[in-house]
Amino acid sequence: MSEFVIAIPTLWRPQLEEKRSSAWLRERLERTAVGYAPFLGPDLDPVPEISEPAARGTLAVLSFVRRGESGRVQASGDHWSVSAGSPVSAQLLDSLYRHAGRLVYDLPVWGQYAAVFGERYLDRVTAWNTVPALEAIHYAVTDEYVFLGNRPLLVAMAMAAGARSALSLSTDYLTEYLLYGYSLSGQTPFTGVRTLSVDRSLCVHRGEVSLHEVPSGLTGPLSARHTLEEGTEALAAALTSAMDRTERALDGRRLQLRLSGGKDSRVMLALLRGRDLDVGAVTFGREGDADVRLARLLAHRSGVRHEVRFPELGDAADLAGQVALTIAGSGGIPASEPHTARYRGADAGGAGEGIMLGQWPLTKGGMAKRLRYPAGGIESAIMHQGGSLVGEGARAPLDDRLQHWFNSVHAASELEKLYLFAREFRSGRYLHAHIAHYAGEAQIAYPISDAEVAAVCDALTMPEKVSERALFGALSRLWPEVMELPLDRSVWRFEAAGPDPEFSGPHYEARSTPLPPAEEDPHRNLPTRPSEFSGVVAAQLAREILDSDRAPLFASLLTAEMWAALTPAAAGHVQAPASMSRLEFVKYLWRVYVADVWLSRRWIPA
């Protein structure tokens, strides 16, 4: 992993002396590096690299790389590149070229990355990211500069010339965060900094900014006219290739796998089998939980050592301090799952180690949960992505924007819109805080988010994805024995009404058997602290929100019912408004609380 920002003057000034122009850019980025230093994770080398790969000093790149890793800025002939995520800078130089004016991959460069490709003597740079965009391009345009990079805080710091006190938090982002838990519009937590949409590239040519399609050529071998067998084979092959790349990137590091009993965990274990990797699995929960018991069974079957425990709290004296640590570690992006904000980040055992999770893969159809929806059901599923805590006046413009997306997105069917929503938002932007937090502390190892896997998912039909036949068939190829193990409170969707004689295979009865009994005392590792959704914690959240200097702002943004429910909750009477369940209410309390700590700027060092 690496973090970078590029500074490009908005006015093309070839008349300026090279030395003078170069000095201005370098000084700006040196100040940016000093301001950004407190936000660097322990896995990153604190010594910045500033390079000027373009001709005539027309731009400069500030980058931080992982300890022991070589620089990500690469140059060859007339071109240069920089990447974050998968280390692909050199491969991009070998593959990319202009064809009839468009940037094209000669051969696909797979992985999961944000990239910038520069044409040295044309004063032109092109930036984009793979799908899903765990690593994304963020950018800002001022009167003097274009800044672009893979962390919105680093871009905002460059705008502020390294002055942390000058960082401007976006009130537009606040409303989106309260409604969705992340941004759909592309507005980042920082005023003036935006996130590039998937399938779009940002071009800066002689200081002028324009948006285009991404470079073509990242398409897999799976034809649109394929059989189900060909689809499952292509998915299994793409997952295996993605894991090959992940193993090379780990380069001998130990790997912690966050393991559950679910389908995605089974895929990850299948990909780890037969590899020379030092893997340990961790499951958060109680020994007697069904999901924990399944995870232990899966780890045993795959020969991976396994630990069951609870996540560790952040190293701060109080809850607000723990949340502030998480926001700082996430580069100023509030957690999309805010109840996790009191815990440590990757906690993988040491800087430089790998961390692997199964996070919102596209293999199962994204947001689509079934093949048939009632009239208006698909639109309703999209429009109800927002929570019921935000008042009508604040949410109406966001509802209008989401409605515009639904009406204008190009899809092969209404059902596919649920897949495309996940492809652009839920499998990418939703995870930006998580990725920024974990990547600063560990080597991200998420093969199921590789662009090659996404390319196969794009080619699979919606029935193949949503029925889970494609995933079932791929997993059967990767680890046949795991298909006999049961699932926890779920089934393979195509088997919801019973086995499919042509596809279920020989283990349907075995995976339909009850779970084995708990092997350990279910009371052995009970936590000594209240859970994040307990009444005690909910009361604390409500009290601190009501006591906050920002309480009037939240009162103006939340529904009257949501705001009124905080007063009895603060006194220990946690009663949800009629529009939501108790669990939803406490989740929303967490979201408001994290937003309050974010607005307090407690996470920004003086």
Query: Do both 182 and 44 map to the same domain?
Result: yes
Question: What is the predicted pLDDT for the residue at 14?
Answer: 52
Residue 339 counted as domain residue: no
Q: Among residues 161, 188, 213, which one ends one of the domains?
A: 213
Residue with tokens 């283990």: 507
Residue 236 counted as domain residue: yes
Query: Do both 172 and 98 map to the same domain?
Result: yes
More confident residue, 359 or 460: 460
Whether the per-residue pLDDT at 138 is higher than 50: the answer is yes
Helix (H) or strand (E) holding 209: strand 208-213
Q: What is the mean pLDDT of residues 342-359?
A: 87
Whether the per-residue pLDDT at 555 is higher than 90: the answer is yes
Query: Do both 100 and 21 map to the same domain?
Result: yes
SS (H, E, C) 1-26: CEEEEEEEECCCCCCCCHHHHHHHHH
Residue-wise pLDDT for 500-514, tens only, equals 999 999 999 998 888
384: which DSSP letter?
T
Residue 150 counted as domain residue: yes
Q: Is the dihedral of CA 370, 374, 375, 381 positive or negative?
A: negative
Residue 290 counted as domain residue: yes
Dihedral pair phi/psi, residue 471, rounded to 5°: -65, -45
Query: Do both 388 and 297 map to the same domain?
Result: no
Residue with tokens 């020969």: 303
Whether the per-residue pLDDT at 523 is higher than 70: the answer is no
Count of domains forming the chain: 4
Query: Do both 154 and 276 map to the same domain?
Result: no
- Pick the range with the lowest mean pLDDT from 79-93, 247-261, 340-354, 408-422: 340-354
- Residues of the chain above pLDDT 70, percent: 96
SS (H, E, C) 453-511: HHHHHHHCCHHHHHCCHHHHHHHHHHCHHHHHCCCCCCCCHHHCCCCCCCCCCCCHHHH
Question: What is the predicted pLDDT for the residue at 524?
Answer: 66
Q: Among residues 511, 545, 571, which one ends one of the domains?
A: 511
Query: Do both 8 and 135 map to the same domain?
Result: yes
Residue 356 counted as domain residue: yes
Query: Do both 256 and 384 map to the same domain?
Result: no
Query: Do both 452 and 471 map to the same domain?
Result: yes
Q: What is the CATH number of the domain that holds 207?
A: 3.60.20
Question: What is the predicted pLDDT for the residue at 522?
Answer: 56
Spatial distance between the Cα atoms of 107 and 219, rounded to a whole number of angstroms: 10
Query: Do both 147 and 240 map to the same domain?
Result: no
Question: What is the predicted pLDDT for the residue at 19?
Answer: 42
Query: Do both 32 and 125 map to the same domain?
Result: yes
Spatial distance between the Cα atoms of 508 and 514, rounded to a whole number of angstroms: 13
Spatial distance between the Cα atoms of 259 and 291, rounded to a whole number of angstroms: 9
Q: What is the CATH number of the domain that holds 450?
A: 3.40.50.620
- Is the Cβ–Cβ distance between 577 and 561 less than 8 Å? yes
Whether the per-residue pLDDT at 546 is higher than 70: the answer is yes
Spatial distance between the Cα atoms of 235 and 433, rounded to a whole number of angstroms: 28
Q: Among residues 186, 213, 240, which one ends one of the domains?
A: 213
First to last CA, the chain: 27
Question: What is the predicted pLDDT for the residue at 287?
Answer: 84
Whether the per-residue pLDDT at 350 is higher than 90: the answer is no
Dihedral pair phi/psi, residue 128, rounded to 5°: -160, 175
Dihedral pair phi/psi, residue 10, rounded to 5°: -75, -25
Q: What is the mean pLDDT of residues 228-251?
A: 97
558: which DSSP letter?
B
Query: Do both 131 and 188 map to the same domain?
Result: yes
Query: Do both 124 and 57 map to the same domain?
Result: yes
- Domain of 14 in residue numbering reads as 2-213
Question: What is the predicted pLDDT for the residue at 168?
Answer: 98
- Is the Cβ–Cβ distance between 151 and 186 less than 8 Å? no
Residue with tokens 């009444």: 535
In one-letter notation, the amino acid at residue 170 is S
Residue 219 counted as domain residue: no
Residue 149 counted as domain residue: yes
Comparing CA positions, the residue from 472, 470, 478, 437 lying closest to residue 355 is 437
Residue 330 counted as domain residue: no
Comparing CA positions, the residue from 176, 158, 69 lying closest to residue 397 is 176
